Structure 1
Amino acid sequence: MAPTTETLTAERILEATEEVLRRHGPAKATVVDVARALGVSHGSVYRHFRTKAALREAVTKRWLDRTSEELAGLVAGDRDPDPEARLRDWLAALFAAKRRKACEDPELLATYMVLVGENGEAVGAHIADLTGQLTRIVAAGVAAGAFAPAADAETTARALFHATGRFHDPSYAREWTEPDIETDFTAVVDLLMRGLRA
């Protein structure tokens, strides 16, 4: 094990863990493998993450948070104040982010599907964050008079999230390369918009 010259941080450990998971998969990847990739002892990794489960939870959360952060910028409406356009952009960005992960790094997606199955808390928090973003867009649309007054913006947001599940739930990833997927996505979003309009 070669000594490391960089300061060992949680972020460096998470980056290395992603690479180890990509290389070995979740069943075979160990904390020792992560430590070896960093050139440190496994005890050094455990100083940042007390257990292997805590490390796996942190790497899962980091992966999910990337999508949330990418979408957060669309919520405020800085680029487009029109609520319908903002909602369309947000749904399209969610689909694009998930499809990119599935198509560009299928090994890591498969690994994360296993990790996500182990860590329901991170998934629940991720879904809550995404539906919270949607809730803010819907509430802004109702306030602007673009969307019909809904009984509850949060309920409407959850319905939108579930209605578009085929385009962001990784269990549908195999369908995301089908030739008509964009047409199907647009048709679903158009239908939802017609239902939301005031």
Structure 2
Amino acid sequence: MATDSALTTEQILSATEDALRRFGPAKATVVDVARTLGVSHGSVYRFFSSKTALREAVTERWLAQAHDDLRFIAIEPGPAAERLHRWLTTLFAAKREKALDDPQLFATYLTLVAEASHIVDAHVDTLIDQIAQIIQDGIEKGDFRHTPISATARAVLEATAHFHHPAHAAGWSDPAAEDRFEALWKLLLRGLAADA
């Protein structure tokens, strides 16, 4: 339980996740969040102006959790092909873990994401920018052929959507999913390689 003076944004977002998990997105309220924290709902509204703003913040945090690991892969040194492969497998693993470890919360987030298209667009733009960094590095080092970087980065993300877009989550537990991912990766790599 938090006191009003010690309340933090992070505590509110965590309590909101708990409320969403317990009650679902249709029934969870700001009062539920406040009750979890042991504060008044007015205390929550001091941080977030509306229920919509709170839900958007939770959605943004959920989507952003993947960014840090991916961002580090995008900027670290090393062969571009290895980094791009690791970046894609890390994204797949993170999404699969969320879907399989807490399917109830994952389903809740699917609802929230559908409500916040501008947040999803920003998330996708961030992912494309990270892929573009790797592709540009690969072109500069002669590992990847010259290609329109941004368009190619978007194509890579879209081509691998089956392994990270929540609409395909039902297939992620299939034992053959990793083999299918690797087959797609080899195809993508042949298209990117400088000697292709």
Q: 1:196 aligns with which of 185, 192, 196?
A: 192
C-alpha separation between the residues in 2 aligned to 1:3 and 1:141?
A: 49
C-alpha separation between the residues in 1 aligned to 2:59 and 2:76?
A: 29
Aligned amino acid, residue 190 of structure 2: R
Pairs within 5 Å for 1:18-97: 18-78=17-77, 81-97=78-94
C-alpha separation between the residues in 2 aligned to 1:107 and 1:169?
A: 17
C-alpha separation between the residues in 1 aligned to 2:83 and 2:118?
A: 28
Q: Report the TM-score when normalising by structure 2.
A: 0.96
- Residue 69 (structure 1) shift: 1.5
Gaps of 5+ in 2: none
Residue of structure 2 equivalent to 1:153: 149
Secondary structure of 1:177 counterpart:
coil
Two-structure CA RMSD over aligned residues (Å): 1.2
Secondary structure of 2:7 counterpart:
coil
Distance 1:137-1:103 versus aligned 2 partners, 3 A rule: same
Aligned amino acid, residue 38 of structure 1: L
2:181 equivalent to 1:185: yes
Q: How many residues were matched structurally?
A: 194
C-alpha separation between the residues in 2 aligned to 1:16 and 1:6?
A: 16
2:109 equivalent to 1:115: no
Aligned amino acid, residue 171 of structure 1: A
Q: Deviations over 1:48-80 (max 9, x none)?
A: 0000000000000000000112211101124xx
> Which portions of structure 1, spanning 4 or more consecutive aligned residues, are displaced by more than 4 angstroms?
none
- Residue 11 (structure 1) shift: 1.1
Distance 1:59-1:77 versus aligned 2 partners, 3 A rule: same
Gaps of 5+ in 1: none
Secondary structure of 2:44 counterpart:
helix
Secondary structure of 2:121 counterpart:
helix
C-alpha separation between the residues in 2 aligned to 1:14 and 1:64?
A: 13
Residue of structure 2 equivalent to 1:125: 122
C-alpha separation between the residues in 2 aligned to 1:17 and 1:3?
A: 14
Q: Contact 2:4–2:39 (CA<8 Å) still a contact in 1? A: no
Secondary structure of 1:103 counterpart:
helix
Secondary structure of 1:48 counterpart:
coil
C-alpha separation between the residues in 2 aligned to 1:109 and 1:148?
A: 38
Q: Deviations over 1:147-170 (max 9, x none)?
A: 0011x1010000000000000001
Residue of structure 1 equivalent to 2:3: 4
Q: Report the TM-score when normalising by structure 1.
A: 0.95
C-alpha separation between the residues in 1 aligned to 2:39 and 2:92?
A: 38
Q: Contact 2:4–2:43 (CA<8 Å) still a contact in 1? A: no
